[in-house]
């Protein structure tokens, strides 16, 4: 992947940061993007041949400005996401709108920013980070699940649109991954999750980034429209 430029959203921590490191290790120039400038600067300082831009996936203007600053992108990893959980019956419209705007609409607008360059070059990799809950559902997360299921539909439709231009579009669907976001969950909830995982352990951010690196590589050049579960068998 030498001489390729990868843009990773939500790259200041967790899965996004692991993806940035994995792509840099594979020879890419990496642009780290997230909302927290201080964390981005610290993360980028540890990754050779990387840079960073601030981005708010809930703001179309911020998305446009970030990609204008980043320049031509060969590999896009749509990883940024947020949750505002609650039972559907009581969920406020703002909680629905914010999650859909960031997780789904933001990813779509990011794709629109990179597609013209990829079509011109007749080469591109788009990798959307979905979730196993986008396939299996999850109570109390109607907005988040809808956004992640939407990413899968977007992946499959886009793969059919741009395949003739040598652009692949795939999705990675992580299961329970140990990150800052999951560290605050109760032990009771974690034990319940563990009982549903055949491999009897939680995943790491590096498990997910390995799948992303594969999809970005030449080895995966005949795979498009695919959803790869990285869940320890939690969903089959």
Q: Which residues are catalytic?
A: 144
Q: 21: which residues sit within 8 A by CB, 6+ positions away?
A: 47, 209
Nearest to 24, CA basis, from 45, 42, 2: 2
Strand partners, 34: 54
Q: What is the DSSP code string of 101-116?
A: IIIIIHHHHHHHHHHH
Q: What are phi and psi of 99, to 5 degrees?
A: -70, -45
Other residues' Cβ atoms within 10 Å of the Cβ of residue 146: 18
To the nearest 10 degrees (0 to 180), the angle between helices 205-216 and 14-25 is 50
């Amino acid at each position: 992947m030498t001489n390729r430029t990868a843009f990773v959203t939500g790259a200041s921590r967790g899965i996004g940061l692991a993806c940035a490191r994995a792509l840099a290790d594979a020879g890419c120039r990496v642009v780290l993007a997230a909302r927290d400038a201080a964390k981005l600067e610290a993360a980028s300082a540890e990754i050779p041949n990387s840079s960073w831009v601030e981005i708010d996936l809930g703001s179309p203007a911020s998305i446009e400005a970030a990609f204008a600053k980043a320049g031509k992108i060969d590999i896009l990893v749509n990883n940024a996401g947020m949750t505002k959980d609650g039972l559907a019956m009581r969920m406020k419209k703002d909680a629905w709108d914010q999650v859909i705007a960031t997780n789904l609409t933001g990813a779509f607008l990011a794709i629109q920013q990179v597609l013209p360059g990829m079509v011109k070059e007749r080469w591109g990799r788009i990798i959307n980070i979905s979730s196993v809950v986008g396939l299996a559902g999850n109570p109390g997360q109607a907005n988040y699940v809808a956004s992640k299921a939407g990413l899968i539909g977007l992946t499959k439709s886009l793969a059919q649109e741009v395949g003739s231009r040598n652009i692949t579009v795939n999705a990675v669907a992580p299961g329970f991954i140990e990150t800052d976001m999951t560290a605050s969950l109760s032990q009771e909830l974690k034990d319940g999750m563990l009982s549903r995982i055949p491999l009897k352990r939680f995943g790491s951010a590096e498990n997910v980034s390995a799948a992303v690196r594969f999809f970005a590589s030449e080895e995966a050049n005949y795979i498009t429209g695919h959803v790869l579960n990285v869940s320890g068998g939690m969903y089959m």
